[in-house]
Amino acid sequence: MSTSVRRTELPLTMRTPAPEARKRRRTSSPGRAPATKAFLILPSVVILILTNAYPIAYAAFQALHNGSLITPGDFVGLDNFAKVLADPAFWRAAGFTVIFAIAGVFGSWIIGLAIALLLRTRIPAKGILKTVLLLPWVVPIVVSAMSWNWLIGTSSSPVPSLMHALGFGDAIFLSDPLGAQITVCLFEVWVNFPFMMLMMSAALTSVDESIYEAAKIDGASASQSFRYMTLPIIAKPTYIAWVLMTIFCVNDFPTVYLLTHGGPVGATNTLVVLAYKTVFQNFQTGPGVAIAFLMTLALAAVAVLLFRQIRKSTSS
Amino acid sequence: MKNVLPPTAMSRRGFLALTGAAALATSVSACAAGNVGNTSAGGGILKFWDMPWGNQDYLGAAQALTQAYKPGSGLPGASYQQVNWDGFNQTFSSAIASNTGPAVSTGGGFQAFQFAKQGAIAYADNLIDSFKKDGTYDDFLPHTLDAMKTSDGYVGVPWNLDVQVFWYRKSILDQIGATPPETWDDVLAVAKKASAKGYVGFGISGGSGNYGPMAVLSLMINNGGGLFNSNGDLDIVNDRNAEAVDFVTELVKQGVVDPGSVSMKDDDLTTAWTNKKVALGFQSPAFNNVVGDEKDVLVTNPLKSRRGDIGGLYYVNNIMMYKNTPSQAGSEAFASYYIKNMKTLWQKGVMQGLPALKSITELPEFKANAQNTAVVEKWQPICKTTAAQSGTLSAKLATIDGGQAMTDFCQTVLSAKSPSKTILTKLESDIKAAIS
Amino acid sequence: MTTATLKTRTGTPRPSTEAGSRGQWLRFAILVALAAFALIPIGGTVVLSLRSNNGTGSLTLENFTNVLSSSGAVAWLLNSLQVALATVVVSVAVAAPAGYVLSRGRGRLVGGYSLLLFVVQALPVITSVIPLFILFSHIGLADNLVGITILYVASSMSVATWMMAAYMDGIPGSLEEAAWIDGASVFKGFLHVVLRNSLPGVLSTAIFTFLMAWNDYLVASIFLRSAGAFTLPIGVQTFFQQHSTDWGSVMAVAVIMLLPPTIIFATLNKYFSVGGVAGSLAGQ
C-alpha cells in the first residue's frame, strides 16, 4: 500500500516548479506547492494506511471464515453474520452499547458544560479545582478501574458499607444487572466529563462576556441569556464534541472490561466487549470479528454522515 | 480568531530543551527496544510459559527451577515467563498465531486439546515412552495420564491436579458450636448459624475467574450429574443437576451467601477467607496455605448430596509442548527435566495443586500440611473431570471451561431469580452454540 | 485556550461577579462537590498506598520502597516513559506538517483526507489490534516498544492532526506569505514561520499524545509478552493479580503510574487545549 502511494508521489515531486517561480505567480496559500504539501502529509498517510488497510482486509477475511486465530478455516460466506444477527446476546449488547453511549455522551456533556460555565465566574482556588477536575481523564483507566473496584466492588467496600450503615440495605452495585449497568455508565461519565469540560471551556471563550452585561441591562434573566445567547454560540462545538464522544464511547473497551468483564450475566456487554469475549473466551473468531465488523460498519456510516453534516452546517 | 497572532506562551529555549530531552529519550528508547528484541526469533532459547499456580512465592520458585535446567549437549536452554490467568486465552492464541508463542508451557486444563485440534501441539508420545522406560510412568497418579490421551496421541503431560475441595474455618465453627458438615443439609445448617453471627456462611465468587462456576459444577457432579452423559453427549437439563442448582439457590435465598457473590472476584473471596470472614466453601488444595492459616482452615470429608451421592470436580493440569520450538528434542528434554524435578515446588510449599506424581505426595514436606493428605486420600479418588460422566476429554472443553456460558450460568444461579430447569436449559443452549 | 489566553493578555476587563458573594459560594460549593466526585476514588488509592500494612493505619512510604525494590516497577516505569516520549516526538513530527496541510489546504483531496482521519478514528482498535499483532510479529515489531509506539502514533494521529490544524488556523496566512515574498519555500515557511509560532499548539498535542500512550491498556496487553518489555499498565495489571490481597503494594504501583500524567497536567494544564479540535473538524 505504502509503495503505491510513493509511486504516485514521485512524478508530482518532479513536476514541482522552483519555489521562486511559484512565488511570483501566486501568493495565496491554497493550492500552493502541492508537492511540498503532499510531502508534508505523506508520513501521516503512510502510517494511516499501514495500520488500517491490512487489519481491515484481514478482519474481512476472518469474518467470512470459520477459522481460529491459528488456523484460517473454511470459507463460510455470510454464515458468521447470520449467526451473530440471530443471537439475542448480540442485540442485547447492541442495545446496551446505545444506552452506554447516550449516557456517556450526555452525562459527561452536562457535567462538563456546567463546570465550564462555573469556571468562567469568579471562584476561589480555581487553578486547583481545575486540575482536580481533570484527574479522571488524566489517570490511567487501569488505575481508576482498580480504584472504583476498591470503592464499590464488594460488600465490604466503602460505599456499600456506608450505605448499609445508613440503612439502605445491601447495595452491591456490580452484582445486580441494572446496578452494574448504571455503575458502568456512571464510570464512563466520570472518565469523560473532563474532556467535555475542556471542549466546552474552549467553546465558551468565543462568547464575549460583554454581551451579558448588555443583556442584563435589558432585563434578561441568567437562564434567558444562557438559552438565547450562550447556547447558539456553543451549538456547533457542542455538536462536534457529541460526535467525538459517541465514537469514544462506542469503542471504549477497558472501562467496561476492567470494571465488570461485561457481567453480571452479560448485562454490561457492549459490542466491543462481546466481540472480545467471543474471540478469546469462546474461541469463535469468525463470529467475534463479524460483531466487530458490523459495529465498525455502523459506526463508520454514522461517522461519515455526521462528518458531512458538520461540514454542511459550517459552510451554510 | 484567525486574525490574531497567538502569543508564544512558553519561551522558545524552554521548548527546545524539552524537545531535545524528548529526542534523547527517543533514541534511548530505540536502543532499549532493540535490546528487548524480537522474542519470536527464539535464538536457540526454549521459551517456557507458566501460570501462577501457587502462593506469592511461587513465581520465584518456578523461575529458579527453570534456571537450574542444564541442557544436554546441542540442546537449547530454557527461559521462564509468567502469564496471567486474566486473558490467558488471548495471550496464548495470539502468540501461537504469530509464532511468538512458547515451546513448552503450562496453561488451562483443556488448552492442550484445543491447540492440538488447531495443529499447534507437539504430541508427547515420545516423552511418555521415555517415562515408561525410566519408571516415571508408574509414578503418575491413576487416570491422570489417560486423561491426556487422544486418538492422535498424548496432548500433554500431567503435572498437578486441581481438586475442588470443601473447606471450613474451624474457629468459626467452634464459635457457633458446629461440627464440620458431612451432607448438603449440614452445609445449609452450619452456614445459617455462621451467617447469624455475621460471617459469610458459604463463600462463592461468581465474578471474573473460574471458581464460582467450578463450585456449582462440583455440586452437580457431587449429585451424580455434570455436563455430559457417559456417552460423551451433552446432558445438562436433568434432575440431578436441577437439584444441585436448587441447593445453591436455597443457600442464596437463606442469606448465607455474600450478597455481592454474583460479581465477587476470586481474589476478593480469598481476601475474605484470609480476613476470617468465611465459614465454608469450595477451594483448591493447599488453600489453607494460601490464606496463611494452616491450622484453622481445614478440609471436610467429601459431602453427601441429598440423594446420598458423593463426587467432586478435578482438573488435570498439564505441561504441553508446541510445534513451534527451536528443537523438539530440546522441548522433550526440558519437559522431562521439569516433571522429574518439580518436587521442589511442593517441598518449598508454594504450590496450590496436588502433584501428579505419587512420589511427591509421599514427601515429608508435602505431608507436613495434614490437609494435603486428606485431599489425596479422601477427595482425589472420588473426583471426576469436567467431562463427567463421560470418560474422555475433548477440545470442546476448552471452550466450556472458563467460557462465557459457564460464567453466565454461575451468575444466573447466584442471582437466584430463575427456576433451575430454565437456567440449565439456557446453559445447554449456550454451550451448544459455543461448541458448534 | 488561544483566545482565552489572548483575552487576558490583551487586557479585556473581566466582568465583575454581579451575583454577589452568596452566588459565588454556591457555585464554589457545586464545584467542590464535583471535584470530590472526581477525587474520591483516586484519593482512596493514594491513601491506601500510604497506609502501613501492620494494621495500625499509620502513614508510611514502605509500600513504595517495597514495590520499587522488589517488583519490576522501575523497569515498567522506564519503558512507559520511553514509549510515551517517543510517541510524543513522532506524533508531533507527523501531525504538525499534516495539520499544516489541513489548515492551509482546500480542495477535494485535503477534504477527503480529513474525512478519512475521521473514519479511522471511528474504527474500533479491537478489530485491528490482533491482525496487526500477527503482521508485526512477522516483521519483528511484536513484543517490543517500537511496535507499540507505531500503534500509539497511529491511534492518536487523528486527534493530534486536528489539534495542530486548529492551532495553525489561528496563525494568519499573511505571515507565511511575507516569508515567501522574502524567498522562502513553502516548506521553510511552514517550518520557520508557522511551526515556530505554533509552540503552544505543539505542547498541547504533545500532552495529549503523551496521555494516550501512557494510559493505553488494550494495545499493550496484546503486544507485550516479555516482562522486560512491559509498560506500566501491563506491569500493574500483572502485579495486581499476583498481589491481589496486598492492597498497599498494589495501590503504591497505581500511584506510581498516575503520578507522571498528573504532574504534567498540574504544571502544564494552562498550555493544554483540546477544544480547537471542534473548530478544525468543522473546517473553519
Residue A299's alpha-carbon distances to A45, A166, A303, B385, C114, in angstroms, are 22, 44, 6, 44, 17
- Cβ distance A277 to B404 less than 8 Å, yes or no, reads yes
Provide the 8-state DSSP code for B313. E
Of A214-223, B93-102, B302-311, C203-212, the range with the lowest mean pLDDT is: A214-223
Collect all residues with Cβ–Cβ distance below 8 Å to C238 and sequence separation of at least 6. Answer: B82, B84, C227, C230
Phi first, then psi: give them for residue C216, nearest 5 degrees. -60, 135
Type of residue found at C124: P
Q: With 0-12 CB in 10 A as exposed, 13-18 as middle and 19+ as buried, what is C6?
A: middle
Of B37-41, B238-242, B343-347, B350-354, the range with the lowest mean pLDDT is: B37-41
Give yes or no for residue B236 having a pLDDT over 90: yes
Q: What is the pLDDT of residues C50-83, one digit of tens each?
A: 887 666 667 888 888 888 887 788 899 999 999 9
Residue A86 at interface with chain B, using a CB cutoff of 8 Å: no
Q: What is the pLDDT of residues C226-251, one digit of tens each?
A: 778 889 888 887 777 766 667 778 88
Type of residue found at C215: N
Residues A192, A197, A198, CA angle at the centre, nearest 5°?
100
- Cβ distance A263 to B263 less than 8 Å, yes or no, reads yes
Type of residue found at A233: I
Touching partners of B (3+ C-beta pairs < 8 Å): A, C
pLDDT of residue B266: 86
**pLDDT band at residue B392 under the 50/70/90 scheme:** low
Give yes or no for residue C210 having a pLDDT over 90: yes
- Cβ distance A174 to B260 less than 8 Å, yes or no, reads yes
- Closest by CA to A64, choosing from A219, A218, A253, A285, is A285
DSSP β-bridge partners for residue B282: B166
Collect all residues with Cβ–Cβ distance below 8 Å to B363 and sequence separation of at least 6. Answer: B343, B346, B347
pLDDT of residue C10: 37
Burial string for B33-70 (b: 16+ CB within 10 Å, else e) reads beebebbbebeebbbbbbbbbbbeebbebbbebbeebe
Q: Which fold has domain B165-283+403-435?
A: D-Maltodextrin-Binding Protein; domain 2 (3.40.190)
Residue C237 at interface with chain B, using a CB cutoff of 8 Å: yes
What CA–CA distance (Å, rounded) separates C209 from C203? 10
What CA–CA distance (Å, rounded) separates C272 from C5? 11
| pTM across the whole model | 0.84
- Cβ distance C257 to A140 less than 8 Å, yes or no, reads yes
Query: B with C: how many residue pairs have Cβ under 8 Å apart?
Result: 154
Strand-strand pairing, B278-283 and B354-355: unpaired
Residue A151 at interface with chain C, using a CB cutoff of 8 Å: yes
Type of residue found at A75: F
Provide the 8-state DSSP code for A309. H
- Cβ distance B207 to A261 less than 8 Å, yes or no, reads yes
Specify the domain boundaries for CATH 3.40.190.10 within chain B: 44-161+315-381, 165-283+403-435
DSSP β-bridge partners for residue B304: B183
What CA–CA distance (Å, rounded) separates B354 from B339? 13
Type of residue found at A159: V
DSSP β-bridge partners for residue B257: B202
Give yes or no for residue B118 having a pLDDT over 90: no
CA B132 to the chain's CA centroid: 28
What CA–CA distance (Å, rounded) separates A72 from A70? 7
User: Which secondary structure element, helix H or strand E, spans residue B316, and what is its range?
Assistant: strand B312-322
Phi first, then psi: give them for residue A47, nearest 5 degrees. -65, -40
- Alpha helices for A28-176 (secondary structure H): 34-63, 79-85, 88-120, 126-138, 141-152, 158-165
Give yes or no for residue B347 having a pLDDT over 80: yes
- Cβ distance B5 to C175 less than 8 Å, yes or no, reads yes
Of A29-38, A222-231, B69-78, C97-106, the range with the lowest mean pLDDT is: A29-38
Strand-strand pairing, B157-163 and B354-355: antiparallel
Strand-strand pairing, B46-50 and B278-283: unpaired
Cα atoms in the 13 Å half-sphere on the side-chain side of C13: 5
Collect all residues with Cβ–Cβ distance below 8 Å to B246 and sequence separation of at least 6. Answer: B420
What CA–CA distance (Å, rounded) separates A44 from A66? 35
Residue A16 at interface with chain B, using a CB cutoff of 8 Å: no
User: Rounded mean pLDDT of B295-309?
Assistant: 94
Chain B residues close to A69, C-beta within 8 Å: 93-94, 96-97
- Cβ distance C186 to A33 less than 8 Å, yes or no, reads yes
- Cβ distance C31 to A56 less than 8 Å, yes or no, reads no
Cα distance from C28 to chain B (closest Cα, Å)?
28
Phi first, then psi: give them for residue A177, nearest 5 degrees. -55, -50
Provide the 8-state DSSP code for B154. E
Chain A residues close to B273, C-beta within 8 Å: none
- Closest by CA to B397, choosing from B119, B210, B240, B160, is B210
Chain C residues close to B90, C-beta within 8 Å: 221-222
Domains and CATH numbers, chain C: 72-281 (1.10.3720.10)
What CA–CA distance (Å, rounded) separates B406 from B213? 6
Written as nine digits, the cell of C65 is 520502597
Cα distance from B381 to chain A (closest Cα, Å)?
31
pLDDT of residue C167: 86
- Cβ distance B9 to C271 less than 8 Å, yes or no, reads yes
Q: What is the pLDDT of residues A74-113, one digit of tens each?
A: 899 899 999 999 999 999 999 999 999 999 999 999 999 9
Residue ranges for chain A with pLDDT beneath 50: 1-30, 316
Helix (H, G, I), strand (E, B) or coil at B157: strand
Residue A174 at interface with chain B, using a CB cutoff of 8 Å: yes
Provide the 8-state DSSP code for B39. G
Q: Tell me: domain B44-161+315-381, CATH 1.10.3720.10, correct?
A: no
Chain A residues close to C42, C-beta within 8 Å: 135-136, 139, 143-144, 147
pLDDT of residue A22: 32
Chain B residues close to A283, C-beta within 8 Å: 89, 93, 114, 398-399
Written as nine digits, the cell of B191 is 452456614
Count of C-beta atoms within a 10 Å radius of residue C9: 11
What CA–CA distance (Å, rounded) separates B123 from B157? 10
DSSP β-bridge partners for residue B357: B140
Of B23, B29, B81, the CB nearest to C83: B29
Chain A nearest-CA residue for B257: A155
- Cβ distance C133 to B270 less than 8 Å, yes or no, reads no
- Cβ distance A153 to B263 less than 8 Å, yes or no, reads yes
What CA–CA distance (Å, rounded) separates A172 from A84? 32
Written as nine digits, the cell of A63 is 469474518
User: Which secondary structure element, helix H or strand E, spans residue B105, and what is its range?
Assistant: strand B104-105
Highest mean pLDDT of the ranges A149-158, A269-278, B143-152, C184-193: A269-278
DSSP string across C51-95: B-TTSS--B-SHHHHHHHHHSSHHHHHHHHHHHHHHHHHHHHHHH
Domains and CATH numbers, chain A: 2-63 (no CATH), 81-315 (1.10.3720.10)
* Percentage of chain C exceeding pLDDT 70: 88
Collect all residues with Cβ–Cβ distance below 8 Å to A203 and sequence separation of at least 6. Answer: A116, A233, A234, A237, A238, A241, C275, C278
Provide the 8-state DSSP code for B304. B
Chain A residues close to B208, C-beta within 8 Å: 261, 263
Residue B37's alpha-carbon distances to A23, A264, C137, C223, in angstroms, are 49, 41, 11, 13
Of A197-201, B382-386, C273-277, the range with the lowest mean pLDDT is: C273-277
What CA–CA distance (Å, rounded) separates B338 from B353? 16
What CA–CA distance (Å, rounded) separates A283 from A269? 17
Burial string for B1-17 (b: 16+ CB within 10 Å, else e) reads eeeeebeebeeeeebee
pLDDT of residue A11: 29
DSSP β-bridge partners for residue B283: B165
Determine if the peptide bond prior to A264 is cis (ω within 30°): yes
What CA–CA distance (Å, rounded) separates C202 from C89? 10
Residues C215, C216, C221, CA angle at the centre, nearest 5°?
135
Q: Report the residue of B89, B98, B278 to disrupt the C interface, i.e. the one with the largest count of C CBs within 10 Å.
A: B98
Chain B nearest-CA residue for A278: B404
Residue B325's alpha-carbon distances to A105, A177, B66, B81, in angstroms, are 49, 46, 17, 15
Residue C280 at interface with chain B, using a CB cutoff of 8 Å: no
Which residues 107-166 on chain C approach chain B with CB closer than 8 angstroms?
130, 133-134, 136-138, 140-146, 149
- Cβ distance B272 to A180 less than 8 Å, yes or no, reads no
Q: What is the ipTM of this complex?
A: 0.84
Maximal CA-CA distance, chain B: 88
- Cβ distance C187 to A39 less than 8 Å, yes or no, reads yes
- Cβ distance B119 to A206 less than 8 Å, yes or no, reads no
- Cβ distance C142 to B8 less than 8 Å, yes or no, reads no
DSSP β-bridge partners for residue B54: B351
Chain B nearest-CA residue for A257: B208
What CA–CA distance (Å, rounded) separates B197 from C222? 46
What CA–CA distance (Å, rounded) separates A149 from A172? 11
DSSP β-bridge partners for residue B383: B312
Residues A61, A62, A68, CA angle at the centre, nearest 5°?
145
- Cβ distance A282 to B404 less than 8 Å, yes or no, reads yes
Cα atoms in the 13 Å half-sphere on the side-chain side of B7: 14
pLDDT of residue B245: 96
Query: A with B: how many residue pairs have Cβ under 8 Å apart?
Result: 97
Contact A249, A196 (CB under 8 A): no
Maximal CA-CA distance, chain C: 74
Cα distance from C235 to chain B (closest Cα, Å)?
11
Q: Report the residue of C7, C67, C85 to disrupt the B interface, i.e. the one with the largest count of B CBs within 10 Å.
A: C85
Collect all residues with Cβ–Cβ distance below 8 Å to C51 and sequence separation of at least 6. Answer: C57, C58, C59, C60, C63, C248
**pLDDT band at residue C197 under the 50/70/90 scheme:** confident
Residue C243 at interface with chain B, using a CB cutoff of 8 Å: yes
Give yes or no for residue C117 having a pLDDT over 60: yes
Mean pLDDT computed over every residue of chain B: 86
Higher pLDDT, A58 or B320: B320
Written as nine digits, the cell of B166 is 470443601
Which residues 198-237 on chain A approach chain C with CB closer than 8 angstroms?
198-203, 205-206, 209-210, 212-213, 216, 236-237
Collect all residues with Cβ–Cβ distance below 8 Å to B346 and sequence separation of at least 6. Answer: B355, B360, B363, B365, B366
